[in-house]
Amino acid sequence: MTESTIPSPSSLSGRSVARVDNEVGPLRTVLVHRPGNELRRLTPRNNDQLLFDSIPWVDRAQEEHDAFTGVLRDRGVEVLLLVEVLRSALEDPRAHAAGVHAAVDSRRLGAELADVLRSHLSTASPETLTEVLMSGMTFEELPASEGGSLVRKMHHPHDFAVDPLPNLLFTRDSSVWIGDRVAISSLAMPARKRETALVDLVYAYHPRFRGAVRAYGAHSAPIEGGDVLQLAPGVLAVGVGERTTPAGAESLARSVFADDLAHTVLAVPIAQDRATMHLDTVCTMVAPDAVVMYPLAQDSLIAYTLTPDDEKGVRVGGPAPFLEAAADAMGIDRLRVIDTGLDPVTAEREQWDDGNNTLALAPGVVIAYERNLETNERLEAAGIEVVRIAGSELGSGRGGPRCMSCPIVRDAVSTEGEAG
Ligand X SMILES: NC(=O)NCCC[C@H](N)C(=O)O
* H or E stretch covering 265: strand 264-269
- Rounded Cα distance, 292 and 281, in Å: 10
**By CB under 6 A, is residue 194 in contact with ligand X?**
no
Q: At residue 118, what is the residue type?
A: R
Q: Is the bond preceding 407 in cis, omega lying within 30 degrees of 0? A: no
With CB under 6 A as the rule, give the number of residues binding ligand X: 15
Considering beta carbons, is residue 222 or 234 the nearer one to ligand X?
A: 222
Eight-state DSSP code of residue 23: S
What is the per-residue binding string for ligand X in 216-235, x denoting contact by CB under 6 A? ----------x---------
Q: Which is nearer to ligand X, 179 or 239 (by Cβ)?
A: 239
Q: How many residues in total does the chain contain?
A: 420
Q: What is the closest distance, in whole angstroms, from the C-beta atom of residue 386 to ligand X in the complex?
A: 19
Closest CA to 274 of 235, 319, 243: 243
DSSP letter for 414, please: P
Closest CB to ligand X among residues 179, 222:
222
Window 269 to 288, contacts with ligand X (CB under 6 A): 277-278, 280-281
Which amino acid appears at position 117 of this protein?
Answer: L
Q: Is 244 a binder of ligand X (CB under 6 A)?
A: no
Rounded Cα distance between 287 and 282, Å, is 16
Which one of 92-100, 143-151, 343-351, 394-402 is the stretch in contact with ligand X (CB under 6 A)? 394-402
The yes or no reply on residue 149 touching ligand X (CB under 6 A) is: no
56 counts as binding ligand X under rule CB under 6 A: no
Query: What is the pattern of x (binds ligand X, CB under 6 A) and - over residues 400-419?
Result: ---x----------------
Binder among 100, 398, 406, 410 for ligand X (CB under 6 A): 398
Q: Does 397 bind ligand X (CB under 6 A)?
A: yes
Amino acid at 234: G
Residue 403 annotated among the catalytic residues of the structure: yes
Q: C-beta of 51: minimal distance to ligand X in Å?
A: 4
Q: Least Å distance between CB 163 and ligand X?
A: 14
According to the binding rule CB under 6 A, does residue 51 interact with ligand X?
yes
Q: Which is nearer to ligand X, 116 or 404 (CB)?
A: 404
Q: Does 378 interact with ligand X (rule: CB under 6 A)?
A: no
Residues 6 or more apart whose CB falls under 8 angstroms from that of 111 comprise none
**With respect to ligand X, which residue has the nearer C-beta, 88 or 281?**
281
Cα angle 15-183-91, degrees, rounded to a multiple of 5: 65
Residues 152-171 touching ligand X, rule: CB under 6 A, are 167, 170
Q: How far is CA 360 from CA 124, 325, 356, 386, in A?
A: 39, 22, 12, 9
Stretch that binds ligand X, among 81-89, 137-145, 336-344, 393-401 (CB under 6 A): 393-401
Annotated catalytic residue, options 337, 362, 403, 409: 403
How many whole angstroms separate alpha carbon 229 and alpha carbon 289?
13
Helix H or strand E encompassing 346: helix 344-352
In this complex, which beta carbon is closest to ligand X, that of residue 277 or of residue 384?
A: 277
Straight-line distance from the first to the last Cα atom of the chain, in angstroms, rounded to the nearest whole number: 36
Question: Considering only 22-30, 35-43, 382-390, 392-400, which stretch makes contact with ligand X by CB under 6 A?
Answer: 392-400
Rounded to whole angstroms, what are the CA distances from 417 to 189, 209, 224? 42, 33, 33
Residue showing the smallest CB distance to ligand X in the complex: 226
Q: What is the DSSP string of 170-215?
A: -HHHHEEEEBTEEEEPB--SGGGTTHHHHHHHHHHH-GGGTTPEEE
Contact status: 41 vs ligand X (CB under 6 A) = no
Contact between 175 and ligand X by CB under 6 A: the answer reads no
Residue numbers at the binding site for ligand X (CB under 6 A):
51, 167, 170, 172-173, 192, 226, 277-278, 280-281, 397-399, 403
Q: Which residues are catalytic?
A: 403
